[in-house]
Structure 1
Amino acid sequence: MSRWLPSKRLSYLLLVLLAGGFVLNLFLQAASLSMNIPGVLEWIGNSPWLFVTGSLFFFFILLFGSAILPNTYAGPVILFLLCLLLGIADYQKLATTGEPLFPWDLMLVKNAGEMSKITKGMISPLALLAAVLLVAGLVYVIIKLPKNTIRLPLRLGMGGISVALTIGFLVLVSGQSPVVSAMNYQNIFWNQKVNYTQNGFLFAFAGNLRQSLLEKPAGYSREAVEAIASKYSQLPDQPAAASPEEQPNILFMMDEAFFDPTRLPGYSLSEDPLTFIHGAADETPSGYLLSPEFGGNTANVEFEALTGLSMYFLGDGTIPYQQRIVKMSSLPSIVSILKERGYQARALHPFDETFYNRNRVYPVLGFDSFTSEKDLAGAARLTPDGYISDKAAVQEAVRELKSASGPVFLHLVTMQNHFPFTKGLNGPNTITVQGGQPAQKDELETYVQDTKLTDEALAELQQELQDIKRPTVAVFWGDHLPALSAGIYTEAGWDKEPRLKHETKLMILANYDIGNEPLGTLSPAFLGPTVFRLSGQTLPAFYKLLEQVQAELPGLSKNVLIGSGDAGIVTGLTSDQQELLDDYRLIEYDLLEGGKYAAGLMF
């Protein structure tokens, strides 16, 4: 056999790879549009150069595959399958959370084992069988095709051209070059759904590779930070609502995918799953948390609650833990503030410690210790395949609080209520649900049963608090609404109700008198100053800024703005509100992307 690939055969190979590039681009765009083929064709008609250029990008990716492996077919097939997986992941994420796939989502690949457990039941056995048969068929074809070799100079040339053009494409897109702008590309980082819909999967995905968390505010400087720090430092420190005799323990309990299912109209439950929560609602501070997320991205809710920084200012789809905080050495937070006041800082999460890089992020925020699933081998699960239960997580949290010699800040993130909502995953369902589609009955009843178990765990926590000698305050909230089938929310009429689809239950418990003033609806960024008031803590300047914002806009989210008192949904900002948000944005930029001057001035 000749050491040179015959020119005719090379031509056929190049044509197949070119066709493969167009097919990949078409598939990825279809996945980004939920397999809406007419929508894909309309997009191609409106942005033909984006489609052609993107298809050529994939052609050179496949060409690179031909150059790097001795078998000229194996490399392109492997890369083709990997790109198909990207499209499938994009489609699945859109169906589950309503958001497209972002570059930083790929960091979860290292958690492939845990992800397979989380998504168990979401991928049909038929689809898995089809995938296995497809891969087996491709392997068989590769083996049977004539063996070809490419001489080293030609191989190097093909590989070099592919790498150079691929890198050049990424540089042009990430830098918003006039070349790509002429193709009708605009990096719409502030609205990622529009970004992917308008620019196509490839251009939007590539444009996010170098995306900063937020744009530099006008007038940003050290002097501007100093002026803001001075303004809020001078505000009087109002007396706390409660002042226990000694520094109280503070427990944050962020409960996975927890909300009040009795709020869903059109559904009838055989019993109230939240008897404790509903019964205690008038006896202790309670209300709703306005989650910045829906169906996922737990880490972003946690980010707000711990740092007091708001997702409102950050680009759509960003995950600060993975994009920024993991690269930092420190970041002011409620953890670091309390540590400076003599607190022990502990984190507890009954799952994989590497999810969202928590094992690397928590030390940046100031945590002294982190108890994860690997440290809880004996923790109870409701079934062998289920997650560690909320009750077991609460019991571990109480054990850690009771064993401490001084005041503790303990941050608990649960897992019991994570999807999939497979019947029997957390034991038998004891509550029946009437209404909605029959096909969704098991799913909804399983979720309602999970909330009942959480309610029981919270009731146990309230009892355990009475046995803790040190004053202790516990803040409980759901991180986001669950990723239930879209039809469940459609039946409830919530498709166009952003407030309802982002409100989770919020309740504060304590073993000393903290009153029962309603909390209304709060963003997680305001939990810090709220619990400081209830625990007798003085407020640093940054928390005074947060209190000012909270007084005007207690619900601060891109999805909906909620005003104070009876103001309801806010559709326009006053000049004072805009000034507060400008101050807030500038400090947030300073801490995340700027000179971090506020770290020494406002905390």
Structure 2
Amino acid sequence: MPMLHQPRAFLLDRLLWPAIIVATQYFALQALAVHLFGVELDRAVPAVDLGLHILLAVALRGLVRSQLALALLLLPLMLLMHLGNAFKIAVLGAPILPDDLAALPALLRILDGGWLWLAVALGLGTLAALAFTLRFERRPMAGALALLALPALLLVLAPGHVASLMDGYFGHSVWNQPGNYRERGPLAYWLQEGARHLARQEGPPDAETVYAAHRLLAPDPLLPASASGGEARATPTADGRPGRNVHMIVLESFWDPSQLKGVRWSQDPFARDFRRLWKSAGNSRALAPVFGGYTANSEFEALCGLPVVHDEVIFETRLRNPVPCLPATLRAAGYATMASHPNVPAFWNRHNAYPRMGFDLFLAQSDFVLDDMNDEYLGDASLYRQVLERLDPLLESGVPVFNYVLTFFGHLDYPLNENRPPVISAPDADERLLAYANTVHYKTRELMDFLKQLRARDPQALIVVFGDHLPFLGPNYAAYADAGLLAPERGEFTDTMFVDMVATPLLVFDGGPRPLALGDLPLYQLPGRIVAALGLSAETPFALTATPPGLAIRPLPGLHVVRDADGNTVACRGDEDTAPEHAELCQGTAAWLAQVGTIKADLLFGHQYVLSAPRDDDPRI
């Protein structure tokens, strides 16, 4: 009799209970994801994803002592899969991707309050669960490890086949990752995108591939001196200085909230003189590579002249070589190069990335007097004052300087101290939107004060000012969707919405009293414009990313947007989702981006063949 009951007990303990536990957690957490973040799966019961969850639970059951231990071990992982993905979709517009692992320390620093404690609890909870639930019995553990090892081996040894099979079943949209997540469910999504990530891992391009890309993008060879030599020269200024100074100011989460039609502001959120100045530039806009966060990618484009294409943080994952970015190019021309950002230096790996791009000096949080704090963010007025104090000796020395400033004030959740009382109100705006509107009011006031002082000290300077990305104003583009500026889901975006999602104010002074009217300019185009305006004699890699005549190309994860000289906008979303009349344009610009991608890979983590690319009669080709 006991023998008859043993199989039944085994099935109950090892199969039925794991299924019950995981299903209970699954549906409870999905209900929470909808309630907290408005992120709902497309299917009420996603059978494949739930089945994968159950298989995972069955495998883990062999490692733990009891059903309760299994529930405890599963919970942190389930919270990350279900609520972590929903949180990132709601805030940044995309689920958690494999490349986010490299950016995990910075992403954790972004969290505050209850979300930070939740993340800490997840990590500690997982460790505690492992410590108190694991059992070390040879046969159950061997079976469990075998069940876990099989899919792991498939992912490692044949990731392309796994991705292809899952693509065939679920389908795949390269430009709509939130839609992919909603269609598949969290674990199926992670497996499919994890396989794709492993399948596309590639080494640096070889010399022949780089030379071919170089010939297609620019027929003239680059000069190796542009990276590290001293042959580059800037055109002297009218007073005989060796070169005009360059000041680049990047404004945290800077955008124009007056674009939210239907919100009745008590006054213009922007300071009046800033509004007038920006209008004189035709309301020029910088087209960033990101929405709501990932400032480092906007920095990379504005400093290195290379477009960001994938949903990854270049400073963390790709920037491994010293690269002839704008700071290095200017340093080779005799400039002193200085970066200022009052945050911890390791955030987004800046303490390694900045030197690799050519900055001689990086002033981080410990280098500033933190005398005007808005929670943890130093106010712009104090930052600007302290930058000017450091800058004055350089300006007086006659040595040309590249002065790069990244503000910190204006970061989510837009706190203000007692010296910045709210002055903007609106009866139909929520608390977060009001906080943001008051933040940009002070940001524009303090920026105008800084520009007045800077231009008085350095009237011939080239000055560039832009926002790094749009602000987060509620889950699923809430404030933007309410105003009709964006759709609540990426899959519902019109072509122009992909531009509006990344467009921030841009001011460029080329030594004159008024900023230039530049229209909509992708950020990776800035370094080339700056080098040309300075009259630098050295060739640079920026020439290779000058877009085809009459076109502005803004790559975004999974797609790219093309604007022509008449302002027509086409979002190239892949062959199946692109209208036939745009196919030729999209295919041509995609081919251009592929060649640029080869050059970027060669520069960032390759052998940098492009810095000595041969002429057509060179025996190397």
TM-score tier by shorter-chain length is: 0.7 to 0.9
SS of structure 2 residue aligned to 1:329: coil
Say if 2:291 and 2:471, in contact at 8 Å, map to a contact too: yes
SS of structure 2 residue aligned to 1:431: coil
Aligned counterparts of 2:379 and 2:88: Cα–Cα separation in 1: 26
Say if 2:204 and 2:607, in contact at 8 Å, map to a contact too: no
Structure 1 pair 219–204 and aligned structure 2 pair: CA distance change class (3 A): farther
Structure 1 pair 150–557 and aligned structure 2 pair: CA distance change class (3 A): closer
Structure 1 pair 601–337 and aligned structure 2 pair: CA distance change class (3 A): farther
Q: TM-score under structure 1 normalisation?
A: 0.78
Does 1:490 pair with 2:487?
A: no
Which residue of 398, 403, 410 maps to 1:410? 403
Task: Report the identity percentage.
Answer: 22
Q: Tell me by how many angstroms 1:570 deviates.
A: 3.9
Give the corresponding residue for 2:312. Answer: 318
Q: TM-score under structure 2 normalisation?
A: 0.76
Structure 1 pair 480–518 and aligned structure 2 pair: CA distance change class (3 A): same
Superimposed CA distance per residue, residues 361-404 of structure 1 (whole angstroms, 9 cap, x where no aligned partner): 2232222232222332x223354x24111222222332332233
Give the corresponding residue for 2:278. Answer: 281
Say if 1:344 and 1:368, in contact at 8 Å, map to a contact too: yes
Superimposed CA distance per residue, residues 148-195 of structure 1 (whole angstroms, 9 cap, x where no aligned partner): 995642354245324423523533673333894497256655542343
Give the corresponding residue for 1:203. Answer: 188
SS of structure 1 residue aligned to 2:464: strand
Structure 1 pair 568–189 and aligned structure 2 pair: CA distance change class (3 A): closer
Name the amino acid aligned to 1:90: N
Give the corresponding residue for 1:168. Answer: 153
SS of structure 1 residue aligned to 2:465: strand
Name the amino acid aligned to 1:251: H
Does 1:102 pair with 2:97?
A: yes
Q: Tell me by how many angstroms 1:527 deviates.
A: 0.8
Which residue of 335, 347, 365 maps to 1:373? 365
Structure 1 pair 428–408 and aligned structure 2 pair: CA distance change class (3 A): same
Pairing 1:139-178 to 2, within 5 Å after superposition: 152-154=137-139, 156-158=141-143, 160-171=145-156, 174-177=159-162
Structure 1 pair 358–189 and aligned structure 2 pair: CA distance change class (3 A): farther
Give the corresponding residue for 1:479. Answer: 468
Structure 1 pair 307–142 and aligned structure 2 pair: CA distance change class (3 A): closer
Superimposed CA distance per residue, residues 232-268 of structure 1 (whole angstroms, 9 cap, x where no aligned partner): 5599xxxx99965431222221111101122222223
Superimposed CA distance per residue, residues 80-99 of structure 1 (whole angstroms, 9 cap, x where no aligned partner): 22331342221111111221
Pairing 1:82-481 to 2, within 5 Å after superposition: 82-111=77-106, 114-117=109-112, 120=113, 152-154=137-139, 156-158=141-143, 160-171=145-156, 174-177=159-162, 180-181=165-166, 184=169, 191-206=176-191, 207-208=193-194, 209-210=197-198, 212=200, 221-228=209-216, 231-233=219-221, 245=240, 246-272=242-268, 273-281=270-278, 287-311=284-308, 314-315=309-310, 317-325=311-319, 328-376=320-368, 378-383=369-374, 385-404=375-394, 405=397, 406-421=399-414, 427-434=420-427, 436=428, 440-468=429-457, 471-481=460-470
Does 1:552 pair with 2:550?
A: yes
Pairing 1:574-585 to 2, within 5 Å after superposition: 574=585, 580-581=592-593, 583-585=595-597
Which residue of 46, 61, 64 maps to 1:63? 61
Q: Tell me by how many angstroms 1:525 deviates.
A: 0.3
Uncovered stretches (5+) of structure 1, i.e. residues with no partner: 1-5
Q: Tell me by how many angstroms 1:526 deviates.
A: 0.7
Say if 1:229 and 1:601, in contact at 8 Å, map to a contact too: no
Say if 1:32 and 1:200, in contact at 8 Å, map to a contact too: no
Say if 1:251 and 1:411, in contact at 8 Å, map to a contact too: yes
Aligned counterparts of 2:332 and 2:58: Cα–Cα separation in 1: 56
Q: Tell me by how many angstroms 1:505 deviates.
A: 0.3
Name the amino acid aligned to 2:400: P
Structure 1 pair 142–425 and aligned structure 2 pair: CA distance change class (3 A): farther
Aligned counterparts of 1:400 and 1:174: Cα–Cα separation in 2: 52
Query: Which region of structure 1 is more displaced relative to structure 2, 334-343 or 226-235?
Result: 226-235
Q: Tell me by how many angstroms 1:100 deviates.
A: 0.9
SS of structure 2 residue aligned to 1:505: strand
Structure 1 pair 113–57 and aligned structure 2 pair: CA distance change class (3 A): closer
Q: Tell me by how many angstroms 1:334 deviates.
A: 1.2
Give the corresponding residue for 1:596. Answer: 608
Structure 1 pair 59–331 and aligned structure 2 pair: CA distance change class (3 A): farther
Uncovered stretches (5+) of structure 2, i.e. residues with no partner: 1-5, 224-233, 488-496, 572-581, 615-621
Aligned counterparts of 2:8 and 2:419: Cα–Cα separation in 1: 61
Query: Which region of structure 1 is more displaced relative to structure 2, 537-546 or 474-483?
Result: 537-546
Structure 1 pair 200–214 and aligned structure 2 pair: CA distance change class (3 A): farther
Name the amino acid aligned to 1:563: R
Structure 1 pair 487–150 and aligned structure 2 pair: CA distance change class (3 A): closer
Q: Tell me by how many angstroms 1:508 deviates.
A: 2.0
